[in-house]
Each structure stands twice: as structure tokens, then as C-alpha cells.
Structure 1
């Protein structure tokens, strides 16, 4: 029982340690920040820059605007809106990444030709790519259904999600020992049977960490995409709107930032839960 609770206890300890570090620095730090040779190395510890954690948590329970909904409800609705974009982008990026990994594993020439470009794709600044994707999307339509702004956000999320899946899945598909491959050939197993019965099961330990990273990357892509394309309703847009009130209501800004961070944790947690369920099902089948 204690062993199963260790991840939750470790996460709680990490949150408490972060809160203690925040309040500790606020207590001893300079309100102007710490500078060396004119370069600010540590942030300002003023209430405008670093509100107390108690004030941030209290702001969740207060109304966003006078007579309006509480902040926690507004942030939750925005996170659910962004979660849809994340889910679509994560699934699309997962399919593209897995297909690329299978293609590169099957054909060495494809690996040598595609892998450098897969890596190079992640060097493009996302803040510059997002408006381009939004501009292209505005000229497209799916049949009679016009392109929606949230689709551009999902494409940006997929762009960040496919890379860790492609690299992780490729490493996993190439992980079986040569003796295992020889055994499959001795059974006259074809490439497809070897992929299903040997390579995919052997690649699971590599794939799920990649999926967790892809989930977090999809959240980052969706948030940046919402900010860059001006898509309303999501947590990314909410961060921008609350940032305008940073001077008068600094705690409000952090509520949206915490919501975005929790969204990333939820996505990573869902992937981890799927990994546990798959491992349990595999153990029962044995």
C-alpha cells in the first residue's frame, strides 16, 4: 500500500517544497531582484511580481469580475476548451509519429533520409510557425465544413507531439535483441507478424515515456497556439487577458498559469494511467 502511494507522496512533497522555496525567497529576496554586473539573476520579490501563495489560492475562490463567475470555474472551462485541442493534436501527432517510426524501422534509407528532418523540424521557433499555420488554415476547408481556429491550434499541438513519439517509438522498435529476431525468422514470421508480436511489445517501455513527453508538449503547443493565433476560450488566451491586469491584480495571472500547469499534469497522468492498465492487462494475460 505504501509502495503504491509513493508517487503521490513524492508529488505532494514536490509541491510543498516548491511552495516553501517560493515563500522563503519572498521573505529574504530583494523587491528589486538580485543583479550582478547589471544582469538580473533572481526575480523581484515584491507583491506585484511574487504574490503570496495564500493570495493566489484565495483568488481562485473570488469572482473574476464583479458579480461574475469565480476564477476557478473560469479557469476550469478554459482548460477543458484547451484539452479538446490537446486531445486532437496528441492523437494526430501520435499517429504521424508512430507511422514515421514504423517506416524508418522498416526501411533504413527512410531512417537516413527522414530522421535528420524530423529532428530539424523542432528547431523552428513555434511563435513564428503558429501564425503561418493559422494563415494556411484560413484558406482550407474540410468538404463543406470551413477551417476553424481551434484546428490550427490542434495542428500546432500535433507538431510538437509527433517528435518524441517518432523518436521514442523508433528506438523501441529497434530494441529487440538479434537473437529474438532470428527466432521470429526461424518461425517463418513475416515483417508484419514480427512487428505485432515482437517489436511493438518490446517497444512499450520506450513508447510510454515518449507519450508522456508528447502529452506535455501538446499542451505547450496548444497554449502557445492559442496565444499566437488569438483563439478565444482556451487557457492560453486567458493567460494573455489576465496578464494585462498583472499590475493591479498579480495573483490573477498566476491562477491561469497554474491552470495550464495542471492541464499538463492531467494529460501526463492519463498517459501514465493507460500504461498501468496496459501493464496489468499484459500481466493477467500471461
Structure 2
């Protein structure tokens, strides 16, 4: 029965319900990447089997690649070549050594780019005029070809000394790769920092919370769901940037330089080149997986906006 002159508010308590996507068990979902890899191998071998050795051309335009062993080796040839000798090491040992060098540089670039991108996002969120003036240039910066930027960074670095120590070639690679990393981090972080509703911000202000307290207690936790996918993109970009920088600057010791070396030998043994390319791709998968593990710690810091 309604009571005249009284207002009754009914609160709705949200209930979180875990729904399994597609009804598939979690274990089965983890097999999807393996199934995708197996599909790639099957398609590879079918192309090798069915497409003519010199490819297929229509009107003078090649629409299917050549499938000779010098152009498209069998999958098992790419695997078995890892045991071949490459000087005093096997090909597998060479790729492992060079991939480890590049992985370290990509990891440093990921850290540097994340710090720079995160700081830029905080500054742009704090000052609207900085966002309006800087964000367009942040976006435009990614249109510069990396292969053209690499020699410039290497040249500038040659004129810099840090604490009396000369600029090392690997430092140029870290800077170039970090250049690709900071963009997704800055954009994702900025979007997350701006995601809390005005009511939540005003609530903290009503408790005399300043900008710093609001940042730590509200904006940073709210930004975590936006930051995590940005970090996964940044991890892949770090590997791409490191490999391209190694190739562009001619820096030895990394997987990028090893790709160039094996490409010069590809007329006699294309399997080595494919093995090097796959090793570079696995670096991206490994670094992205490492970032995914860090999500376990970051998700504990994340909480819904307005949660106590």
C-alpha cells in the first residue's frame, strides 16, 4: 500500500554472473591457439602440395607464390634446420642467442615506452590544454616510417654521452622500439583516466580529496582495464620496433641482423630464413604472454568505479 507524502527509494543491487563464452570449457578455449597453429601448418603443406612450383600468374600478375624448396620449404625442413651447424653453433643455438639479445632490448623498450606513455597520459588528463595541444601530435607521430627514423636516432645518439659513457648502438634500438610502445599506452591510459563518471569524482572532492588522491584512489584503478590491452599491443610493438631497428641500423647480435644474414643465404637454404622469422614472431608471443601474466597483479589493483 502506498503512503501519501512519503518517497520510497528502491535500490537495485547488482549481481555479477559469470558466463562462459560460447559455452566452451576454459581448457578447450586454451586449445584454440594450438588449433590455429595446426591449421596454418596444414594450409602451408597444402599450398606446397597443390600449387605449381613456379606459382600461378594471371595476366602477368602472380596471385599464388612459388612453392619450390628455395621459396617455400616444408615445415619439417624449417624445424630440422635448427640442428644444422652454423659456425661453432647450431642454427637453433644461434637463433636462441640472438633472440635473447633482442628480447632484452624489447623488454627495456616496453618499460621505457610504458613509463613515457603513462606520464604523458597523466599530464594530458591533468591539463586539458595539454591534451588539446599534444594529443594530435602524438597520433601524427605514428605516421613517420620507422625505417626512416632509425638512422636519425642512431645518428643523434652518436653525439650523446650519458654520465661520461658513449652512446651504445643498443640504446638506439631501445629508443626506436619505445617510440612504438608509448603510443598505445598513452592513448589507452588517457582513456582510462578519463573514464570515471563525474559523480564519482565529485564524491571524492566532497571528502576534500585533492587531485593526487583522486588519481591514486579513483582514476588509476579505473584505468587498469584500459591499460591491459594497451600493454599487450605495446609488447608486440616493442618486438617489431626492436627487429626493424636492428635491421635498419645494422646492429649485430640480435635476431633482426640474423634475419639479414640468413636472407643472404636463402638462395641455398631458405629454411634458415623462415626459422629466423618464426623466432622473431615467437618473441612477440613470449613478451605478450609475459605482459598477460602481469595482469594478475594489475587486476587486483583494479576495481569498479564507485567501489569502496
Normalising to structure 2: TM-score of the pair?
Answer: 0.87
Alignment of 1:37-116 (within 5 A): 37-65=59-87, 68-116=88-136
Q: 2:245 matched to 1:225?
A: yes
Tell me whether 226-235 or 8-17 shows the greater mean CA deviation: 8-17
> What is the RMSD of the two structures over their aligned residues, measured on CA atoms?
1.7
Which of 29, 33, 36 aligns to 1:14? It is 36
Structure-2 separation of matches of 1:277 and 1:20? 38
Q: SS state of the match for residue 49, structure 1?
A: coil
Cα drift, residue 24 of structure 1: 1.2
Which of 154, 158, 168 aligns to 2:178? It is 158
Structure-2 separation of matches of 1:192 and 1:264? 35
Structure-2 separation of matches of 1:106 and 1:157? 27
Q: In terms of Rg, which structure is larger?
A: 2
Cα drift, residue 179 of structure 1: 2.1
Alignment of 1:115-194 (within 5 A): 115-194=135-214
Number of residue pairs aligned between Structure 1 and Structure 2: 281
Q: SS state of the match for residue 89, structure 2?
A: coil
Can you give the 5+ residue segments of structure 2 that lack an aligned partner in the other structure?
1-23
Structure-1 separation of matches of 2:139 and 2:59? 37
Cα drift, residue 30 of structure 1: 2.7
Q: 2:219 matched to 1:199?
A: yes
Cα drift, residue 282 of structure 1: 6.4
Alignment of 1:251-262 (within 5 A): 251-262=271-282
- Aligned residue in 2 for 1:29: 51
Tell me whether 171-180 or 130-139 shows the greater mean CA deviation: 171-180
Q: SS state of the match for residue 232, structure 1?
A: coil
Moved over 6 A (4+): none
Structure-2 separation of matches of 1:73 and 1:194? 51
- Aligned residue in 2 for 1:235: 255
Contact 2:225 2:302 in 1 (8 A): no
Q: SS state of the match for residue 189, structure 1?
A: coil
Cα drift, residue 167 of structure 1: 0.6
Q: 2:265 matched to 1:245?
A: yes
Q: SS state of the match for residue 63, structure 2?
A: strand
